[in-house]
Each structure stands twice: as C-alpha cells, then as structure tokens.
Structure 1
Amino acid sequence: MARGGNKLTKLKSSVLKKWQSFSKLGRSNANAIAAANHSSDDEENDSKHLYPVYVGKSRRRYLISSAVADHPLFRELTDRSGEADIVTVGCEVVMFEHLLWMLENADPQPESLDELVEFYAY
C-alpha cells in the first residue's frame, strides 16, 4: 500500500474510534439530521426541507437538510453510490455522522474535496 494510503487508513481508524466515543455523548444537531427516522410521511419531510438518505451497508436512514444535500462533498459521495432510485452514501454510519458534524461546523474547502471523498467513502 502506498505510504499516503497507510496514513489515511490510520487517520480514518483514529477518527472512527474518537467519533464512536463522542457520539455516545449525544447526536449531531437535529437541524441537519434526524438519525434513523422511520417515518414515511413525505409531506412532513417536504415541509421541513429534510430529505431521506440511506447510509452504509445497513442502509440506515437519515433525514438531511437541503444545505447538506447541496454540499459538493455530499453530492460527490452520493454520485459514487451509482444508485438512481434512492439517495445512498457508501460509507460507515459513524463516518457519515462525523461528515455531518464537519459540514455543520467546519465547512470544508473545495481544494480538499478529493481527499475528503476518499476519506469518507468505503
């Protein structure tokens, strides 16, 4: 494995461990997501401007705001999934929660998007 890839793997592992312990303390801002919301009332989702997205191999359902849905990093991750019928993101659930936090709090810059896509994607 390339040296840069090895660093990325170690960083990803470290983030996963830290985020798992952090996420036990509380969920991300409810404005951006409603984790595992099983409501099928589409009219309610539209009125709040939240959109369903399915994450990971387990297809855990999240409702995301239009600000997250419109972010270039999020769009690149969903484009990689290759599914046309539903919006999916191919990454671990805990990484997706970290991604949502980052989009709310850090606003990644376009020059780092390729690295971030590689970091979050399977």
Structure 2
Amino acid sequence: MSETDSDQGNITIFMMAQLRAMNRKLDLALDTQQQHGERFGRIERDVSEGFGRIERDTSEGFSNLRDDIRSLRRDIHDVKSDIILLENKVLTTQSEILAILHRVGDGGRNLDDPPADPLAGR
C-alpha cells in the first residue's frame, strides 16, 4: 500500500466521520423543529382559547380583555423568538453541510489545510 493510498483512506475515513457528524446535526435540527411544531400547536390552541375567552369577556364586559391581549402579545413574542432560533439552527446546519460539500468537491484538498498556491514555486 503506497502513501497515496493511505492518504486517500484517511481522507475517506475523515469524510465519513464528517458526514456522520452532519447527519447527527440534521437529526438534532429535525428534532428541534418537531419540538417547535408541537409547541406551535400548543400555542395555537392557547391562542384560540384566548380568543374564545375574549369573546366571552366582551359579553361580560372588558375587564379581562387587557390581560388577554398582553398574554397574546407574549405568546406571539415567544413564537417569533422560537422561529428565529429555529431559523438560525437550520442556517448554521446548512452552512456546515455546504462547507463539507465544497471540501468534497475540491477532492479533499481543503479538509485540513488551505490549498497550496500552485504558482508559489515559480
């Protein structure tokens, strides 16, 4: 086995390890997205219940309306925060995947070190 074969084997092992790591990160992103989906379902239910309370409160008067609107605003703020967090995680994962794909597209030259300047020896 030559040194080139050994280097190719090391690159292959490294790439497989990187792809497994990316797979775990994608699983984590999907799990996070599922958890947020469940949370969004609960928030949607809570919001619809809030609107139901608002309808009842208007028949009784506007005493609780202000509190329900504040609660609804907090829920909306929580949803916005969750969406931003999820978007950041997905974008980070996509960036990491693209970086790996770029490295793979370079034939493994960019795995550990920057590419050597082909014109440096001239």
Does the TM-score normalized on the shorter chain lie above 0.5?
no
Structure having the larger proportion of residues in strand? 1
TM-score normalised by the chain length of structure 2? 0.27
User: Which structure carries more relative contact order (alpha carbon 8 Å, separation 6+)?
Assistant: 2
Q: Which of the pair has more CA radius of gyration? A: 2
TM-score normalised by the chain length of structure 1? 0.27
Structure having the larger proportion of residues in helix? 2
